[in-house]
Structure 1
Amino acid sequence: MQIKAITFDYFGTLVDVDRGGIRGMQAVLDATGIDTPRTAAELYLDWDVINVQTYRGGKFRRYREVSTIALAHCLERLEPGVTRRVDIDQLADMLLGHLVEDSPPHTDAVAALEWMSKTYPLMPITNMDSDLWQRSALVDYFEHVTTAEMARAYKPSEAIFKLAIDRLAVAPENILHCSLASWADIDGAKPLGMNVAWINRGGESLGPWQPRPDFEFPTLAGVQAVLSPS
């Protein structure tokens, strides 16, 4: 394996997206005054599921639009008719702002990026919009990014991975893709010939029909060890 470039999933792999998302959902609940026994953490996970179902279930729409639709569904479940009394676009901006700005980097991710950036071209492949990416915590580590908005497709579509490969101008067999999200990234990258390191932070299991990654590690420190064997 001769690696010449490294690509990454962003949310979850490099940053703790749940922390930012929960803060965002709490801000939404505070702004709406909705009375519910459900926690911001529970509602954030509901939103995340609906969000993914929405962008995978139809023609391409920007992440901001999809996220707004998903948030409206979540809030309507709590209080039918609530979207008639609130500014749903403003609330979605609030949620996404926290999601991208308040998701703290994983300690191992910062250490890995510091080390990798000295040797390899690095690029995130992310499902967020390009303007949201520019507000994210680790943007300064990357000269280039490939977003769903650029490709007009969401992972695991081959379109976004092909665009990233073309923009790197590196053969897929010489790219190592690192990701927490197995269904989005292993399923998308492996059929194109990319090497994949599954960063299995939660000790999850792969489905029986999924392709297997080339590597599996609990953190990005494992990737660094593979690239610099003793």
Structure 2
Amino acid sequence: MTLPIRAITLDLDDTIWPIAPVMIRAESVLIDWLREHAPRTAERYPAQAMRELRDRIAAQRPDLAHDFTEQRRLTLEHMLRDSGDDTALAAAAFDVFFAARCEVEHYADSEHALARLAARLPLAALTNGNADLHRIGLMPLFRFQLGAREHGRAKPDASIFHAACARLEVEPSQVLHVGDDIEMDVVGGAQAGLRTCWINREHRSWPREHARPDLEFTTLAELADWLDAAHRTDTATA
């Protein structure tokens, strides 16, 4: 299959790196910090209690559905206040958590595949999360990173896809959005008029009757292989 692709937007969490181990480690680092600086909070809010509180705050504040950073800050402030510790510690606690959140371990294929993709087409990161590609060290491969917090709306809202296309100066129909999430990435991207690629690392079955992705691969390396082959085909027929 050949597609008229002039740029690529990529999801980050669970597309370039697995997010679950990152969050478990970041929460562990945070709790260790709280044990030293706010021991009452650490005792009252172990990891599971902290997650449950964050979920409650997210449910109570649907206006912050696009802003994981603010959800986390409000959670920390609530934890500290509820435990009788100084709420001024929330900023430092978040900094500790966020530094660990950006210490990701890429899938084995990701870095080399991204370099191959970037050599062919401009790349942009399009994420609902708050990972920082500058801290992670991948920003040189991307034209820009657009997060839901910055944009004000999260995927699958069409506006965030269109904003990325506008910054790339490419029509949506000529942008390939790549991601792991069926609703956020594949369905959302398609409804916004982009071409879509599902990174299906877990070999899942497609659960929907309609809105299938244009492409499906188990790794970013396979996508890079496809793009190289498409480039050779275009060159041969030019």
Residue 104 (structure 1) aligns with? 105
Q: RMSD of the TM alignment (CA)?
A: 3.5
Q: Which amino acid aligns with 1:120?
A: L
How many pairs are equivalent? 221
Residue 219 (structure 1) aligns with? 219
Query: Offset of 1:207 from its aligned partner?
Result: 4.8
Q: Give me the TM-score of the superposition, normalised by structure 1.
A: 0.78
User: What is the SS of the residue equivalent to 2:14?
Assistant: coil
- The percentage of counterpart residues that share the same residue type is 24
Q: Could you say if the C-alpha distance between residues 96 and 182 of structure 1 is closer, same or farther in structure 2, counting changes exceeding 3 Å?
A: farther
Gaps of 5+ in 2: 36-41, 233-238
Query: Offset of 1:175 from its aligned partner?
Result: 1.2
8 Å Cα contact 2:44/2:83 also seen in 1: no
8 Å Cα contact 2:64/2:70 also seen in 1: no
Give matches, 1:16-165, under 5 Å.
Answer: 16-33=18-35, 34-35=42-43, 46=51, 50=55, 53=58, 57-58=62-63, 62-70=67-75, 81-82=82-83, 84-85=85-86, 87-100=89-102, 102-128=103-129, 132-165=132-165
* CA displacement, residues 60-106 of structure 1 (integer Å, 9 cap, x when unaligned): 77442122234567x58xxx923745623322222122112x11222
Q: Could you say if the C-alpha distance between residues 32 and 179 of structure 1 is closer, same or farther in structure 2, counting changes exceeding 3 Å?
A: same
Q: Which amino acid aligns with 1:28?
A: L
Q: Which amino acid aligns with 2:8?
A: I
Query: Offset of 1:190 from its aligned partner?
Result: 0.9
* Separation in 2, partners of 1:154, 1:81: 30
Q: Could you say if the C-alpha distance between residues 113 and 133 of structure 1 is closer, same or farther in structure 2, counting changes exceeding 3 Å?
A: closer
**Larger fraction in helix:** 2
Query: Offset of 1:127 from its aligned partner?
Result: 2.5
Gaps of 5+ in 1: none
Query: Offset of 1:47 from its aligned partner?
Result: 6.8
Find the structure with the greater CA-based Rg: 2
Q: Could you say if the C-alpha distance between residues 150 and 28 of structure 1 is closer, same or farther in structure 2, counting changes exceeding 3 Å?
A: closer
8 Å Cα contact 1:5/1:170 also seen in 2: yes
Q: Could you say if the C-alpha distance between residues 158 and 56 of structure 1 is closer, same or farther in structure 2, counting changes exceeding 3 Å?
A: farther
